[in-house]
Amino acid sequence: MELDAALAQIQLQTHLHCSPRLDLAQGSAKFEMKNETKKTTEAQLLDLLKKVLPKATHDAQLAGKIYQAIELELKAKARGSAFDKFCAKVELPDLEPKSIEEVKTQLAASFGQGDVTLKPNRKDKTLAVEVSLTDGTQFSGEIKVNPNAGVEASEEQEITLKFVPFPVCLPGDKELVWLLGKRENLSAEEGGIALTKAETEFWASKTGQKLLRDRVERSFPEFIARVPAGMLNELGLKRHYKTPEPIKPLRPLKKN
């Protein structure tokens, strides 16, 4: 009852203090903001919760549990959405062992150390996919064979997959620049929010915690050198962008 009351008060205070609408019920979270892309929705929701929860309840332990439950639900929802998109868009020209192995490799790169099971159905020309993660989460789906996969790519997909330069630096040393890449539909500010989220999640992961126990410094250079490419890609980021062209010295115009 106390948890339900706290959630109800969160909804009321959020409606009064900001334009987005926040609905929290049955362990799920929906967050809508005008003129904001879906890329930053989760980060803004969690940031909003940090401000609203202390106003909704004075029980710090209860507030922490609510925040943690919503954060876990958002992560699970994001991974489920990523899995569904993968099954819908992955290229599978046939059910030959080589093609199936390529799908398995892509799944392993996207979902880390989870167990991947693939079962081809040659009659229906489909590939059943099951992924079991180490935290007990399971995903299942189906990939349809498309003989034209990789041959016909729509213009819209090409634009969505395009990366643009995203150079970043630390406040204390602006001359040291990392040439990252970001999706072109992300602004520089949104890219920064996504990068901060990736760094936070990386150090909180099992890999990050092990590195900290091994006395690896918790710093941005260490993070960007060790973070899995899949974690960055899910947030619309890329570790390395193509090296820029060398600077071309221009010849001065001759004065008449």
**SS3 label, residue 54:** helix
pLDDT at 232 over 70: yes
pLDDT at 255 over 80: no
> 74-78, 87-91, 153-157, 231-235 — which is least confidently predicted?
153-157
The pLDDT of residue 35 is 38
User: C-alpha angle 245/246/247, rounded to 5°?
Assistant: 115
> What number is the average pLDDT over the span 124-151?
81
Closest C-alpha to 39, from 182, 139, 164: 182
**SS3 label, residue 168:** strand
pLDDT at 22 over 60: no
164 within 8 A of 203, measured Cβ to Cβ: no
pTM exceeds 0.75: no
pLDDT at 193 over 60: yes
